[in-house]
Amino acid sequence: MTATGIQAGSEELVPGPDSAYDLVICHDDRIVFHDHYPSPAFRLRMCAQLLTASDVVPGAIDASAANEVHELYQSSSGQWESAPDSVVNAIAKLCRRWGVQVYVSTTRKKTEAPAELYSVITEYGPGQTVAEHFTSREARRASLIERADIFFSTRGSIPERVLADEQRLAALVGAFLMPATVLLTEAVLDDADGHYKPSGRPLPIL
């Protein structure tokens, strides 16, 4: 399974026809589900439904675990509309106990191709690749921080020396996702043919 998307820059995203809200569920170091939804609240509802009333991860989440997810979801009803991503993060932390990883990202659809793309390529295994594309290095860094932060019990626990270095941030994400491989790449738009060309050699983050 391959998933791609162009992430927005630093502007705030609001639900609308120009935004897509992605949900990725992994188990046993592979992607078992990936789709996108029209709003964060809808994504939350689908996340809870997939983990409690589907066979997406039947070997990992049994009836007892599904009940825990359901209770957490119901107890957070006050945040379903106001802070749905906070509920997803809480569910994701709970699911890590059973070897299930839940990831979210927000993609802004653009009518005009950006001049440069800053990408994060995560290879979970053969044919299991997620490519996230950003319009600025700052936006890519913010996404890496968000991905790494979810693995800590308290947000804001990433060491300063890691926060200051994009390569170290990517390495931290890769360490949490082992044996997955994380690549950072950059590309520029060739106006002659409308295709993106690598602006440098992609380096694996080990």
pLDDT tens per residue, range 61-74: 999 999 999 999 99
pLDDT tens per residue, range 176-198: 888 888 889 888 887 777 777 77
Domain locations along the chain: 19-107, 110-205
Q: Say what the pTM is.
A: 0.53
Longest dimension (CA), the chain: 58
Q: What is the CATH number of domain 110-205?
A: 3.30.2260
Spatial separation of the C-alpha atoms in residues 42 and 50, rounded to whole Å: 12
In degrees and rounded to multiples of 5, residue 180 shows phi and psi of: -65, 155
Q: Comparing 115 with 140, which gets the higher pLDDT?
A: 140
> Is the pLDDT reported for residue 44 higher than 90?
yes
> Is the pLDDT reported for residue 155 higher than 90?
no
Spatial separation of the C-alpha atoms in residues 122 and 111, rounded to whole Å: 26
